Structure 1
Amino acid sequence: MKRRWIMTQEWRDVLFLHWPISAEDLREHIPSELKIDLYDNKAWIGFVFFQVKGNRPRLAPPFPGLSSYLELNVRTYVSYKGKSGVFFFSLDADNPVIVKLATLGNFLPYRQANIQLQKRNNIFSISSKVSNANSITETLITSFEPMPEIIEGTLLEQWLTERYCLWTKINNDLYRVDIWHAPWKLQNVKGDIVENSMAPIIKVDYQKNIPIAHYSKRKKVRTYLPIKEK
């Protein structure tokens, strides 16, 4: 990508959880300009959890208190004029300053959350809780163990994870944010979801199904200036 990146960070201990869902159950919650991406005629909802480390702007060192935090985002997969990417329903972080900065101008749906991550031997435990404007608590509690082997991802697994831009709509304008990182090195995981009440805007019980789950140890990411779509 020829444009200069403006922000970089490292994502560590990344957990992907994915469930198939009907496109009709998502349509009203996604800007009309965006086309819902389908795989085998199914839309997908994805949770991505990770630790952010080394968050900093271009040509600047990490700022104390802003360089490290935990994040859990809920997303689906969309396209615009043939380009595929993601649309976020929510992005939850445990750093209040990051949330305040990221929500300036209502650019992205970041929310302040109580997120905890524990690791014992090779087992990770995640707890994330956030109360939305309607006083509904959204919770994810899960534990998992990554399998040691790096897998060669199937076409579906690549389709779900190899996404390099996001869209957001501000007032009547659609913006795209491009990111760059090397292809994912994925590992299968085994584990349990103790509680999942995320994304209550989705009225179907997608949680009753076992998700497709993957882990990745770390990924260096670069973010570019937003582009207003035409």
Structure 2
Amino acid sequence: MDRHSGQHLWPRPPILPRPILMDQRWERVVFLHWRVPSAVVSSLLPRGCAPDEFDGSSWVGLIGFEMVGAGFGYRRPVPYFGTFAEINVRLYSIDGEGRRGVVFRSLEASRLAVVLGTNLARVPYRWASMTIDDDRSTIRYRSRRLAPPHRGASTDFAVARGSRDMSDDPLAQFLTARWGLHTSIAGRLTYVPNLHNRWKLLDAELSHCSDQLIAAAGLPNIAGRSPDSVLYSDQVATQFGRPYAVRASAS
């Protein structure tokens, strides 16, 4: 993809470095995205990353889904703890070696053990009380954070599923075909590779969105306006491979 023109074709998935560290499914996925100037998000990315762009802008995502069957290794789901509601706030990044990824500003989860374990690895999961209401037409995500930082921060959003296939839409592909995440470990830029099948994406119509998580993630004055992209997907299976350090310079 040309990060300035917005031209994009479904990229060939990378070869996932072995061993596979985690295996999971993401189900009933709602994607809300806001267009933002890259300067707004650049200071929130790990050193060595730059904002990835589509049509000259970067993007902020509020993503709700149900994590299902997460486990260590391949097809080894952890009972109970491997299935839970999650809502994350994420940004889009590119490093000096051209790897595109996401940067998580926060991840709400309803399993305290998951939060405690991932925080040890410096993954910003936050413990929250969460519900998913789904009548097969409209799906609603609600969450309220139960512990610091920003205890009490909440979100409540719902969308009506559409029927128009958005799988080939260039912006939809840019926002969902991400093959890893960028983070900083011991001061070094690190890439955690991720592999998944092609998303089956549908359009969706926003019913309502009252959100405090984006502001709590360091991005005020965004969620008060309507999102620029609303998408839905039933599910995708995904695996994570071995993390590795990348050089700390971005083009």
> Same fold per TM (> 0.5)?
yes
Distance 1:104 1:139, change over 3 A: same
- 2:233 aligned residue (216, 219, 226): 216
Distance 1:208 1:227, change over 3 A: same
Secondary structure of 2:213's aligned partner: coil
- 2:101 aligned residue (68, 73, 85): 85
The answer as to whether partners of 1:8 and 1:56 remain within 8 angstroms in 2 is: yes
**Greater strand content:** 1
Give 1:48 deviation, angstroms: 1.5
Name the counterpart of 2:77: 62
Amino acid at match of 1:193: H
Structure-2 separation of matches of 1:209 and 1:173: 36
Name the counterpart of 1:11: 26
Name the counterpart of 1:126: 141
- 1:151 aligned residue (163, 166, 189): 166
Decide which moves more: 134-143 or 153-162: 134-143
Name the counterpart of 2:242: 225
Name the counterpart of 1:39: 54
Give 1:131 deviation, angstroms: 5.3
The answer as to whether partners of 1:151 and 1:186 remain within 8 angstroms in 2 is: yes
Structure-1 separation of matches of 2:113 and 2:138: 30
- 1:103 aligned residue (116, 119, 122): 119
Q: For 1:49-89, what per-residue CA distance to the aligned partner results, in whole angstroms no more than 9, with x for missing partners? A: 11111112225732332221111111111101211111111
Q: RMSD of the TM alignment (CA)?
A: 1.8
Structure-2 separation of matches of 1:204 and 1:143: 20
Structure-2 separation of matches of 1:4 and 1:136: 37
Secondary structure of 1:13's aligned partner: strand
Secondary structure of 2:71's aligned partner: strand
Name the counterpart of 1:185: 200
Decide which moves more: 213-222 or 119-128: 119-128
The answer as to whether partners of 2:196 and 2:236 remain within 8 angstroms in 1 is: yes
Structure-1 separation of matches of 2:74 and 2:27: 22
Name the counterpart of 2:110: 94
The answer as to whether partners of 1:132 and 1:138 remain within 8 angstroms in 2 is: no
The answer as to whether partners of 2:214 and 2:223 remain within 8 angstroms in 1 is: no
Number of aligned residue pairs? 229
Identical positions, percent: 24
Structure-1 separation of matches of 2:233 and 2:53: 24
Distance 1:214 1:71, change over 3 A: same
Decide which moves more: 19-28 or 150-159: 150-159
Give 1:225 deviation, angstroms: 1.7
Unaligned runs of 5+ in 1: none
Unaligned runs of 5+ in 2: 1-14
Give 1:217 deviation, angstroms: 0.4
Amino acid at match of 2:109: A
The answer as to whether partners of 1:25 and 1:203 remain within 8 angstroms in 2 is: no
Q: For 1:172-227, what per-residue CA distance to the aligned partner results, in whole angstroms no more than 9, with x for missing partners? A: 11111011111111001113224111222113335313331111101111111211
Q: Compute the TM-score of the two structures, normalised by the length of structure 1.
A: 0.92
Secondary structure of 2:153's aligned partner: strand
